Structure 1
């Protein structure tokens, strides 16, 4: 088989679009990937299906004169979204959809892999088909379970995310942080309930919660450099059962986002300080739980990213666009904290946004993405 052509790539994308699966449940997707790769030239391919992370798939393309191993990661899971695109190849799995475009991500990776299966690279190439990007931090799981040990360890890592705001096939990137890191916030405040007519005999967690919410807003406005970026959103609050009873318990849920890991850790600490202060001020117990998992900021390596951008700016047929950082999260950030590398955008030009039930990526982006990435990897092996 020669490398995949555009019609074959589009068919693959549509096949994958119909079988979306949630994090760590991507068995049908995994099997489809294995079957597709089995049709490639196997001469220089070595395939691993790790038992510790059974829906993951790793393919090593052995180079002719390797001096390094270059990693390329694609995510394979979908979202709990009911599709509303009206496409003839819409999701066959109720309540699940590739609303973040991972079907496009996988298809591009398969296109690049098929090309290098027919044209042996100079360096080793490691293709990592990663489960559980949307939840369960699959990148962190893979790293902690030792999937990148020995010959499977990349010297540098690359990956893309599709972007409906960019023209179909355009490549977007920037020096520094591409995506923010995210931390889940859960806060429980415990006081003493009582009758609304006798507040002196109770310990009102609604009042404590209100004060906490207001003080949290000052973390960004007064503890963070205004020319840097950080966000705290408390999106869910719960307290009380009836109007004339003082609530003895309150619960809050939210998220922290920051463009560097240092920024996130600073916000984390200030939030801890605020919670301790509220506990003392209102004589309540405040339990703060912070869960970042693998969703670290996607901080692009300066040297590798500069080389990547220089190539894309001059590559024939590539439209390069320098992009601003985004406050969305991506667990590739964890892998970039362990291996130098670069994440970039692939434009898919659509009116609907990522995670939307109506997202319809422009399929012209797929072959253009394959060509741009294949060209860059060949360039990187010479430079």
Structure 2
């Protein structure tokens, strides 16, 4: 795609706004890092994020509009007219932290193990620094609830119609990633993340004594056979060039007694693919497969499929503009980052030209996302903030602002 020539000239790459914004950003980063610590110490699970929104309000002095039950919106710049939205996710995970830092989680079995504390600290830094800038277009900050669970907070926000009422033209997102070097950023055009869904399979049959299997049904064996065959369903029903995966997160059967044949079994799995259509096809085939296996051993299998977020697709022109502006913000280009991970940011990109970039926080000691030891360094707050500002200016350029 051919971009307007001014992207590479004086519009933003060598103008006062970049230098001024970076100076303003440097001035507010210490407070943003301190807020990140406070948020990390007081994590809130999905659907209970109101205290985090209140923290943001207290530290910024801004009154946020409540949205999607426990989320918030804040507008910087002109009260009306076109705007560009920046999104940060609010929720923590049901994980017991094992970092040992003085500002680790004070809430048992709740932890910011996916970097959302960094994202929120970065959004705070961008909002605070933007208040001292003559913005080329207004900014809307999205403090989004329920990224980690269903029902999706992003879907709820889009369905309220508030982004349309606020005249949001583009949405920019940034997510930390430990597999990328610190200070690097990946912002590829096109497919970035998978469409997702969840499969829950309930198996039932007659229970009994383990010594008399001929008087009962073998629910445990049926559960095991279904679990082992799920990925064969993937291999034999989708084009091998269309990546997809079914991964089991939970298998439960029985109550722990060795001599009791259980009546119930349960499998919970995530489904990832390049489209919701492919995922729906897999769900139908899994339903047929599970029913057939169960029927063969006189059991019953019921399959429930919950459709999740669509595939995440980055706007090509925005991604190209981001790549041109990136160097002005001290961000190195990272290797392409596409995966069967999922993020409900895709609900924004489905409706509006948007980009999600991945910001490197990795080093030789970095833990994985969702690991109880995952704790990016404080410098990640500034890296994510610069990526968000870069995306904002790329979108402003696309709008001709």
**TM-score, length of structure 1 as denominator length:** 0.85
Report 1:51-62 matches (<5 A).
Answer: 53=69, 55-62=70-77
DSSP 3-state at the match of 1:79: coil
CA separation in 1, counterparts of 2:211 and 2:103?
61
Q: How many angstroms does 1:14 deviate by?
A: 1.8
Superposition deviation, residue 173 in structure 1: 2.4
d(CA) in 2 for partners of 1:83 and 1:191? 40
Matches within 5 A, 1:111-260: 111-136=125-150, 137-151=152-166, 153-194=167-208, 202-240=216-254, 246-260=261-275
Note the C-alpha offset of 1:287: 0.9
Cα distance change on mapping 1:117 and 1:206 into 2, 3 Å: same
Structure 2 residue runs of 5 or longer lacking an equivalent are 1-23
Alpha-carbon separation, structure 2, partners of 1:311 and 1:201: 71
Local SS of the residue matching 1:49: strand
The partner residue of 2:305 within 290, 293, 300 is 290
SS of match in other structure, 1:165: strand
Show CA shifts across 1:141-178 (max 9, x none).
32334443412x52221111111222222212223332
Distance in 1, Cα, partners of 2:71 & 2:194: 25
- 1:20-64 deviation line (CA, Å, top 9, x unaligned): 11112223211111122227xxxxxx84224x51x3110122349
Given that residues 61 and 125 in structure 1 are in contact (C-alpha distance below 8 angstroms), is that contact kept between their aligned partners in structure 2?
yes
Work out whether residues 178 and 300 of structure 1, in 8 Å CA contact, stay in contact via their aligned partners in 2: yes
For 1:267, the equivalent position in structure 2 comes to 282
Of the structure 1 ranges 335-344 and 197-206, higher mean CA displacement relative to structure 2 is found in 197-206
2:339 to 323, 326, 329: 326
Could you tell me which runs of 5 or more consecutive residues in structure 1 were left unpaired when the two chains were aligned.
40-45
| 1:96 Cα deviation after fit | 2.0
2:65 aligned partner: 48
CA contact (8 A) 2:57 2:64 kept: no
Structure 2 counterpart of 1:93, from 99, 107, 114: 107
Q: Counterpart in 2 of 1:335?
A: 348
Superposed CA deviations along residues 169-200 of structure 1, whole A, max 9, x for unmatched, are 22122233323333222111223334566655
Q: Distance in 1 between matches of 2:217 and 2:159?
A: 44
CA distance in 2, matches of 1:84, 1:145: 38
Q: Deviations over 1:261-304 (max 9, x none)?
A: 233222222212323433554443221111234x4332323343
Q: 1:17 to 1:190 in 2, by over 3 A?
A: closer
Q: Residue 348 of structure 2 aligns to a residue in which SS? A: helix
The answer (yes or no) to whether the contact 1:23–1:77 under 8 Å persists in 2 is: yes
Equivalent of 2:377, from 351, 362, 378? 362
8 Å CA contact retained: 1:173, 1:322: no
CA distance in 2, matches of 1:71, 1:221: 40
| Per-residue deviation, 1:128 | 0.4
Aligned 8 A contact 2:322 2:394 in 1: no
Note the C-alpha offset of 1:361.
Answer: 0.8
